[in-house]
Amino acid sequence: MLNIDLSGKRAFVAGVGDDAGFGFAIAKHLAMAGASVCVGTWPPAYVIFTKMLARGKMKASQQMPDGSELSFEKIYPFDGDFDSWDEVPQEILDNRRYKDRGDFTVQGVANQFKADFGERPLDIVVHSFANGPEVKKPLIHTSRKGYLSAIGSSAYSFVSMVRSFGPLLRDGGSFMNLTFMASERVFPGYGGGMSSAKAALESDTRTLAYEAGRLYGARVNSISAGPWASRAASAIGFIGNMIDYAERNSPLNASITATEVGSTAAFLCSPLGSGITGSVVYVDKGYHAMGVAVDAVPDILASAEG
């Protein structure tokens, strides 16, 4: 039997703050395959997340197929907006939600990994977060500050992570990020520069696959997931409509699940995916392949299914 085996591997999944998003699903599936998993949580959400875990509020989501319970080797306060401590503005340092969190920057957490586990302690690094402060604004009405913030938080943060965590990877290491089809198609309502940020993230995935491959022997891939009602996506306001539309118009005529994204991530990060790098892998029930909405041509649909 051919199994995904990540025994003896250690993963860092950045962007886990609840059990409803892809980050949690990816972390769980990496653990199901045998990896030790550490996660990075946005500092303002750190206390809430760790308390919910401690109080058993996520017990159902933590249930593993073998009857055990998902646990994280370590939870790091992590903010991908900041590359190093000297770049953190004073108002952030004074913010009570950031105080007493240690060095939560990209390089700071990379340094902490070395302090905790040694010089090359990692095999898998997953970037599973995005932010656009003006995401509800049409692109044409997005401010320069909002646009650059979306790019910095959602795309450049991955560049920063590859730079800082690349030297920590053992042989056969893998980087991964999550993108969305708004990088290449128009999704009205998904604004604030987020479509541009996803396009940049995909372009950077290809370039970093070359650079990190030559520098660290690491693979770099992206998963383009279909619409999913995570807490962050729900804040956009029309995610339910997007999910319904994608389900009606996808070749497989169904909505995606977080499990499907998690299992794809586990495969891509495993030795079974050793020949895959620089790729954007769609996990969207085939929705990306459609050129015309099924809703628009019901007669053709009827004849195709007949």
Spatial CA neighbour of 187 closest among 197, 178, 177: 197
Domain ranges of the chain: 10-305
What span, in angstroms and rounded, lies between the C-alpha atoms of 294 and 297?
Answer: 5
Partners of residue 40 on adjacent β-strands = 14, 76
Using the predicted structure, report yes or no on whether residue 243 has a pLDDT greater than 90: no
Using the predicted structure, report yes or no on whether residue 302 has a pLDDT greater than 70: no
Catalytic: which of 46, 98, 147, 190?
Answer: 190
pLDDT given at position 77: 98
- Any residues with CB less than 8 A from the CB of 129 and at least 6 apart, and which? 14, 15, 23, 42, 80, 153, 154, 157
% of the chain exceeding 70 in pLDDT = 94
Token output for 236 = 């956009």
pLDDT given at position 293: 85
More confident residue, 194 or 297: 194
Q: CATH code for 10-305? A: 3.40.50.720
Per-residue pLDDT tens over the stretch 163-218 = 999 999 999 999 999 999 999 999 998 999 999 999 999 999 999 999 999 999 99
Per-residue pLDDT tens over the stretch 19-62 = 999 999 999 999 999 999 999 999 999 999 999 999 999 999 99
Residue 212, CB-side half-sphere exposure with 13 Å CA sphere: 32
Using the predicted structure, report yes or no on whether residue 301 has a pLDDT greater than 60: no
Using the predicted structure, report yes or no on whether residue 231 has a pLDDT greater than 90: no
Per-residue pLDDT tens over the stretch 100-134 = 999 999 999 999 999 999 999 999 999 999 999 99
pLDDT given at position 82: 98
pTM of the predicted structure, to 2 decimals: 0.94
CB 290 within 8 A of CB 249: yes
pLDDT given at position 292: 84
- Using pLDDT thresholds of 50, 70 and 90, give the confidence band for residue 306: low
β strands within the chain, DSSP E: 10-14, 36-41, 74-77, 122-127, 169-179, 219-225, 280-283
CA distances from 126 to 117, 122, 179, 190, 205 (A): 18, 11, 12, 23, 12
Catalytic: which of 9, 28, 198, 285?
Answer: 198
Q: Is 210 a catalytic residue?
A: no
Q: Is 59 a catalytic residue?
A: no
What span, in angstroms and rounded, lies between the C-alpha atoms of 106 and 98?
Answer: 15
